[in-house]
Amino acid sequence: MVILDIPLLMENKLNKNNFFIVFIDANKKEMKKRLKKRASYNEKVFKKLKKFQLPLEFKKKKSNFIIKNNFKISSVKKNVKIIKRKIIKNERSSS
């Protein structure tokens, strides 16, 4: 299993039929607040990148799994483990 974190995966048509797409759903205000804390944060770059992105609802619909990120590591880890088990089970049943 290989996990790739590619923000513009769908926009660049990098997703393949055999990929499992996991959408991380996070509170927009909290996400922006955390981004602003980064030393490399640049508002102009952020706005430009946002223009290239497909609507989030479209991405959610195209995703195989959705994780609600409440910014609590234990919750996110639990959801990742559940998804991993589902993917492994699916791979075994399709072989």
13 falls within a domain: no
pTM: 0.75
Higher pLDDT, 54 or 4: 54
Res 16: pLDDT: 84
Q: Cα separation of 60 and 23, whole Å?
A: 6
Task: Write the DSSP assignment of 26-70 as a string of letters.
Answer: E-HHHHHHHHHHSTT--HHHHHHHHHHSPPHHHHHHH-SEEEEE-
Q: Is the pLDDT of residue 58 over 90?
A: yes
Q: Is the pLDDT of residue 79 over 80?
A: yes
Enclosing domain of residue 79: 22-94
Q: Is the pLDDT of residue 71 over 80?
A: no
53 falls within a domain: yes
Q: Is the pLDDT of residue 17 over 90?
A: no
88 falls within a domain: yes
In this structure, the dihedral spanned by the alpha carbons of residues 22, 81, 27 and 24, taken in order and rounded to 10 degrees, is -10
Res 59: pLDDT: 92
Total tally of structural domains belonging to the chain: 1
The SS3 call for residue 21 is coil
